[in-house]
Chains A and B, each alone.
Chain A
Amino acid sequence: EAQVTQNPRYLITVTGKKLTVTCSQNMNHEYMSWYRQDPGLGLRQIYYSMNVEVTDKGDVPEGYKVSRKEKRNFPLILESPSPNQTSLYFCASSSGPVRDEKLFFGSGTQLSVL
């Protein structure tokens, strides 16, 4: 089954404790992206990657890191999480330009930073 898998689904952590949210897709997609979703603000792009070893900042990259060492994986790293990073995070992938190929989203990771 074609899917984007994120882990964990729920995460509670404390300020400053490094964490990684994993994302994996099994569709051989070149394009992958991370979003955060906050009430009233919608989905905002954090980072995206057009292919292996190619990453770029989205709208809200501060406080986040990503890497794309393999085509299928695109982890999101929070080196020193802060409470304002409490949010619902989604990973997404696509085989081509977003307008032509739909974005497949993972089921989300609800992060709470205390």
Chain B
Amino acid sequence: QKEVEQDPGPLSVPEGAIVSLNCTYSNSAFQYFMWYRQYSRKGPELLMYTYSSGNKEDGRFTAQVDKSSKYISLFIRDSQPSDSATYLCALEKTSYDKVIFGPGTSLSVIP
């Protein structure tokens, strides 16, 4: 079983839709959770970071962590064509530990 799993997509939604992106993980030792966005032919960039169960909001983006279910989500409200990218979840166990990336979900927002 892979440590981190994501549905690869592609996911295609109309502009303005609410998007839900998800990751599951197998090791309860993961404590820190991040979402990276990667545009085509570019390196990933950090979108959000959280270390606790619950929700964290930043503009149109909400990160949700459920440690008991080993499940993390990223919600995008009022999706825009500029949100079209691959979204990678990333997890870390402790400080200075390596980050484990999920394989990414490809999202297309259609105008």
Residues of A at under 8 Å CB distance from B? 4, 35, 39-45, 48, 50, 58-59, 90, 92, 97-100, 102-103, 105-108
Q: Are B43 and A99 in contact (CB under 8 A)?
A: no
List, sorted by A's number, 7 A–B pairs whose CB atoms are closer than 8 Å: A40-B8, A43-B88, A90-B44, A97-B95, A99-B49, A103-B36, A105-B45
Residues on A with beta carbons closer than 8 Å to the beta carbon of B102: 42
Q: A48 and B98 in contact (CB under 8 A), knowing A105-B45, A107-B41, A107-B42?
A: yes
Query: Do B101 and A43 have beta carbons less than 8 Å apart?
Result: yes
**In chain B between 16 and 72, which residues have their CB closer than 8 angstroms to a CB of chain A?**
32, 34, 36, 41-46, 49, 51
Q: Give complex CA distance A105, B44 in Å.
A: 6
Given that A40-B103, A42-B4, A42-B103 are known contacts, is A102 also in contact with B42, CB under 8 Å in the complex? no
Query: B: which residues have CB within 8 A of A?
Result: 4, 6, 8, 32, 34, 36, 41-46, 49, 51, 88, 92, 95-96, 98-99, 101-104
B98→A103 contact, CB < 8 A: no
Q: A97-B96, A99-B95, A108-B41 are in contact. Are A42 and B46 (CB under 8 A)?
A: no
Q: Which residues of A contact B44 (CB under 8 A)?
A: 43, 90, 103, 105
